[in-house]
């Protein structure tokens, strides 16, 4: 089992939105970075743990726990000409972008980016590294365990 931190803008899909969706599940669409795509396509497995992170908002931070609930499949938004994630180089035969489905597990009191920075146990977390802007990053099992056991309060 692997663990991931996945960023979503709450104005697009928040942890509350995820909890209200059918099957409490959403396609993690719109990723347009090759490294993040490769994490989904090549490494994510059903059941992997996800820290659901709110980004580009007043208080960025971990807002909930989710899990990967599907294997990777082509992101449908790359084929829709009217969609902001349309990619003219992508075809049904050779898709360029993939997503997985993510399913709600638990909403927590937000653990802000500022708070995450205060714990020496998390100092190597990728999201805390200078210049890291990836929307999906792997979490070390020790980071996952520390966050779940020490910081996750419903």
Question: Model-level pTM greater than 0.85?
Answer: yes
Of the chain, the percentage scoring pLDDT greater than 90 comes to: 94
Which sequence spans correspond to the domains of the chain?
Answer: 3-143
* 88-99 per-position pLDDT tens digit: 999 999 999 999
For residue 153, is pLDDT > 70?
no
Report pLDDT for 131.
83
Q: What is the 3-state secondary structure (H, E, C) of the chain?
A: CCEEEEEECCCCCCHHHHHHCHHHEEECCCCCCHHHHHHHHHHCCCCCEEEEEECCCCCCEEEEEEEECCCCEECHHHHCCCCCCCCCCCCCCCCCCEECEEEEEEEEEEEEHHHHCCCHHHCCCHHHCCCCCCCEEEECHHHHHHHHHHHCCC
Architecture of domain 3-143: Roll (3.10)
């Amino acid at each position: 089992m692997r663990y991931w931190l996945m960023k979503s803008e709450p104005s697009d899909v928040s942890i509350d939105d995820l909890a209200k969706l059918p099957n409490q599940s959403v396609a993690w669409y719109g990723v347009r970075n090759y490294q993040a795509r490769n994490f989904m396509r090549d490494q994510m497995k059903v059941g992997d743990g996800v820290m659901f992170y709110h980004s580009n908002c007043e208080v960025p931070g971990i807002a909930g726990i989710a899990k990967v609930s599907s294997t990777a499949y082509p992101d449908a938004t790359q084929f829709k000409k009217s969609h902001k994630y349309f990619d003219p180089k992508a075809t049904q035969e050779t898709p360029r972008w993939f997503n997985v489905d993510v399913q709600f597990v638990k909403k927590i009191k937000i653990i802000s980016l500022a708070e995450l920075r205060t714990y020496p146990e998390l100092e190597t977390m990728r999201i805390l590294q200078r210049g890291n802007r990836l929307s999906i990053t792997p979490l070390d099992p020790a980071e996952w365990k520390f966050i779940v056991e020490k910081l996750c309060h419903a």
